[in-house]
């Protein structure tokens, strides 16, 4: 391909073939975004609902205020979800010009 052909802008977007890697990346991005929003909403809701009121009236679990314990628990649950998604759902691929989608080799730990 010549330099002039590379920078030529006389093309139709409908003629461009969509790379499968970018479709997969878009799905993964949406999944991660939804998980992040869900984590944020649950953490803020737990902290607000359990942490409002007079601090002298707080319920304590293992020496921590209930709202703090709930946020830590939610964080640990979502940590497990993120680890699972990273190991079993996200696809390892090269995003370079000549990249390919590699099959993940599932190994038992």
Domain locations in the chain as residue ranges: 33-109
Rounded to whole angstroms, how far apart are CA atoms 58 and 39?
Answer: 23
pLDDT at 74: 98
For the cut 60, the answer to whether the pLDDT of residue 109 exceeds it is: no
Q: Per-residue pLDDT averaged across 88-103, rounded?
A: 75
Written as six digits, the tokens of 76 are 């640990």
C-alpha to C-alpha distance for 89 and 27, rounded to whole angstroms: 11
Tokens read off for 53: 């009121």
Binned at pLDDT 50, 70 and 90, residue 101 comes out as low
pLDDT over 80 at 13, yes or no? no
Quick one: average pLDDT of 44-67? 93
Nearest to 51 by CA among 29, 72, 68, 74: 68
pLDDT at 68 over 70: yes
pTM of the full structure: 0.73
pLDDT value of position 92? 84
């Amino acid at each position: 391909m010549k330099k002039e052909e590379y920078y030529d802008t006389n093309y139709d977007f409908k003629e461009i073939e969509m790379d499968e890697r970018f479709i997969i990346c878009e799905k993964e991005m949406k999944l991660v975004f939804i998980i992040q929003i869900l984590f944020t909403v649950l953490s803020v809701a737990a902290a607000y609902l359990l942490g409002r009121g007079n601090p002298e009236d707080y319920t304590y679990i293992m020496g921590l205020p209930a709202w703090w314990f709930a946020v830590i628990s939610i964080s640990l649950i979502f940590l497990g979800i993120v680890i699972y998604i990273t190991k079993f759902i996200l696809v390892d691929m090269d995003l370079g010009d000549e990249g390919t989608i590699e099959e993940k080799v599932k190994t038992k730990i």
